[in-house]
Amino acid sequence: MLTEKDKELITAATAAIKTRYRNDWQEVGAAMRTRDGRIVTGVNIDAYIGRIAVCAEAIAIGRAITETGDHGIETIVAVRHPKPGEPGQIAVVSPCGICRELIHDYDAKARVIVPSGNGPTV
């Protein structure tokens, strides 16, 4: 079950991608809460060569370290913006395998909000 703080993170990630969405370039937004309670957001950066793209979760973690000095992740979430003409709305998505490893490396006790059949869950 999501807490109000979890819903606040989903709202922050949604706002980040709504503001910075660019089809085929920025389609995923992430938000994380540091262990000291600050919320930091990021959007993915895509590239023509797929393997050099950087996920939104990694951008948010990097911003948190750079801007706050906090390496801890209390909770993190990513959301995806649909492409033009694609049905649906901005929705929570699971982190990719690389992001799962990165999140674990920076905070093995991090809470990760993921989609489920009954809506987002931790």
Residues carrying an active site annotation: 57
Could you give the CA distance from residue 90 to residue 12 in angstroms, rounded to a whole number?
Answer: 12
- Taking a C-beta distance cutoff of 8 angstroms, is the pair 17, 47 a contact? no
DSSP code for 83: P
8 Å CB contact between 13 and 19: no
**Rounded CA gap, 103 and 121, in Å?**
17
**Per-residue CA distances from 48 to 19, 25, 37, 53, 84 (Å):** 22, 9, 36, 8, 19
